[in-house]
Amino acid sequence: MSTRIEKLKAKHTWMDQFSGKSKAIISVHILLIIVILWINDLDYSAKIALFAFLSAMILWVTTKIPAGYVALALIAFIIIMKAAEPELLYHSLSEEVVWLMIGSFIIGEAVKQSGLARRITLAILRRTTSKNNILLSMTSVLFTSAFFVPSTSGRAAMAMPIINQLGQKFSRNEKSVLAILAPVIILMSTSATLIGAGSHLIGVSLLESTVGESISYIQWFIWGVPFAMVITLISYAVINWMLWPKDGTRQIENIGIEEQADLTEKMNSEEKKTLILLGMLIVGWMTEGIHGYPIAFVTMVGAVIVMLPGYGILNWKTGMKSVSWNLIIFIAAATALGRVLVDTGVVAWIEKEMLSVLQLFVHAPEWLIVFIILLVTVTSHLYITSHTTRAIVFIPSLLLFSETIGVDPTTVVFLSLLGMNYCVTVPVSSKALLLFYEEGEISYDAKQLIKISLFLMPLYIVIMMLFYFTYWQWMGMQL
């Protein structure tokens, strides 16, 4: 009897080592295993990949375990469980996004070291002492950049050194607001122009090759700019309202005499070289379709020029130290987690299930069809982390759906692409978000993204529906 009591006490002591939060997380994982095992359409590898991906999402949001460690550990788990080959880990470092981030960090450090970031920051600060006005000015600049830099990650790379410099005038909690505001504004303004994201071009190309219709740059401009302006301003207001510290001051000290003198001083040679380099990068990003080199490669060429011995702005050691290798490992492993969903057939299974559900709405009213399209595309970032992959996976299925129920494919593609532009729930869904995630003093917590997305995601769908039944229909858009 005493032996049994001792065993019960030992068991009780062992369970007490876990907090209530830990027990909840373990319980959710057990529930995940049970649910995934019941999915007959997925094979062994797909089930392991799906479990690992969902586990990563849960741990990123609910724990303080380093995000890179979580991603790396789950990649190792997939390989140990024989659901993928070790090459999954090795090849993760060859992802385009990894090299894009490395180049972005180096170029961002050059903008900072040259003094250009300080000059731009002082120019913003000279006009106002209100933090709200500063944030609005930054929002305007980031929105405008969508028309010149056809890459959300490229715009994030350009914004990062300026945000870092500007952050010196803000408190620690206020810096986290800056770190979220910048990438969210970049993502929301993407819808303004056809060249705002590669997924737009892919979607329009699929539209042309499938049904022979297209969306011109001007047509997209007319449809996209008003929506992008409204959703950008609403996103700014939501972030300001939900995340700004309640005890935070709304004013900063105006720039002093010494700083004013720095601003009026002529550009030095380092600033001029950096400005010329940024101009060349923008041209390189905008002409990707002409020269054929992807944006990540153009960015790395810029990084090489920045560190050119004797003529560059940085030396090799400084350039390498500027890279957040912790973030790079996280990006590589997280991207591999997303890619393995495609490789094992999980994404194809989700696509098939969604298409079968969509078929039920053949005779549905117009508002319900619009809502279903938006619900599918806006939430797609939760399980397909790559913006480009979302377009490649969903646009053909949605075109098939449009033909099945007899609605206009151009409208379906436009609504779908704008829906896919929403990706602010988890950091891994966007390169722009990743660039500011867990990076030095200017960073944010994944829980903050979840917080604003719970409010912003349904609002995004509602605003798109309002635009469809008002402005877009007035401009000739019809299902």
What share of residues in the chain are helix, strand, coil (percent, to 5)?
75, 0, 20
- 149 contact partners, CB below 8 Å, separation of at least 6: 155, 158, 282, 285, 286
Please state the separation of Cα 114 from the chain's center in Å: 28
Q: Is residue 429 one of the residues assigned to a domain? A: yes
Positive/negative CA dihedral, 354, 358, 360, 366: positive
- As a dihedral over the C-alpha atoms of residue 411, residue 412, residue 418, residue 423, rounded to 10 degrees, the angle is 170
Quote the CA–CA distance of 116 and 274 in Å, as a whole number.
8
Which pLDDT value is given to residue 15?
A: 52
CB atoms inside a 10 Å sphere around CB 133: 13
CA atoms of 280 and 286, how far apart (whole Å): 10
Q: Do 342 and 478 lie in a common domain?
A: yes
Whether residue 28 sits in one domain with residue 148: no
Q: Is position 255 within any domain?
A: yes
Are residues 192 and 45 part of one domain? no
Instruction: Name the burial class of residue 78, with classes exposed (0-12), middle (13-18) and buried (19+) by CB atoms within 10 angstroms of its CB.
Output: buried
Looking at the structure, do residues 38 and 144 belong to the same domain, yes or no? Answer: no
User: Distance between CA 465 and CA 463 in Å, rounded?
Assistant: 5
* CA 286 distance to own-chain centroid: 20
CA dist., res. 348 & res. 355, Å (int): 10
Cβ atoms of 341 and 348 closer than 8 Å: no
Residue-number span of the structural domain to which 46 is assigned:
2-92
- Three-state SS for 444? strand
Do residue 131 and residue 49 come from a single domain?
no
Residues 142, 222, single domain; the answer is yes
Please state, in angstroms and rounded to a whole number, the distance separating the CA atoms of residues 395 and 377.
10
The residue out of 57, 92, 127 marking a domain boundary is 92
Residue 78 has a pLDDT of 93
Strands (E), 193-299: none
Residues 320, 325, 329, 331, CA torsion sign: negative
Q: Are 143 and 228 in contact (CB under 8 A)?
A: yes
Q: Would you say residue 445 lies in a domain?
A: yes
256 and 122, same structural domain? yes
CA distance 406 to 363: 10
Element of type H or E holding 186: helix 172-188
Cα 126 to chain centroid distance, Å, stands at: 31
DSSP classification of residue 194: G
Query: How distant, in Å, are the alpha carbons of 151, 182, 247, 469 from that of 424?
Result: 16, 12, 26, 25
Residue 120 is assigned to a structural domain of this protein: yes
Shared domain check, 141 and 238: yes
Q: How far from the centroid of its chain's Cα atoms is residue 439's Cα? A: 15
* Domain-embedded: residue 275: no
Kindly state whether residue 277 falls inside one of the protein's structural domains: no
286 within a domain of the structure (yes/no):
no
Q: What is d(CA 284, CA 291) in angstroms, rounded to the nearest whole number?
A: 8
Domain closes at, from 92, 124, 149: 92
Co-location of 363 and 241 in the same domain: yes
For residues 407 and 474, state if they share a domain: yes
Amino acid code (one letter) for 170: F
pLDDT at 459: 94
| The overall pTM is greater than 0.75 | no
Q: In this structure, are residues 138 and 124 in contact, taking their beta carbons and an 8 Å threshold?
A: yes
142 and 74 part of one domain? no
Going residue by residue through the chain, which has 479 residues, state the pLDDT in tens, using 9 for 90 and above: 556 655 555 555 545 566 677 788 888 888 989 989 888 888 899 999 989 988 887 887 777 787 778 889 999 999 999 988 999 888 888 877 788 778 877 887 887 788 776 777 666 666 666 777 778 878 887 888 777 665 677 677 777 777 777 777 777 777 788 888 888 998 999 888 876 776 787 788 778 777 778 787 788 888 999 999 999 999 999 988 888 776 555 655 554 444 454 555 677 788 888 888 888 887 887 677 788 887 778 888 988 998 988 788 888 888 888 887 877 887 788 778 877 887 888 878 877 777 777 777 667 788 888 898 899 889 888 877 777 777 777 787 788 778 777 788 888 889 999 999 898 888 877 777 877 775 556 677 778 888 899 999 999 999 999 999 999 999 888 87
Q: Is residue 245 part of a domain?
A: yes
Same domain, 470 and 409: yes
Q: How many structural domains is the chain composed of?
A: 2
Q: How far apart are CA 317 and CA 250, in angstroms?
A: 39
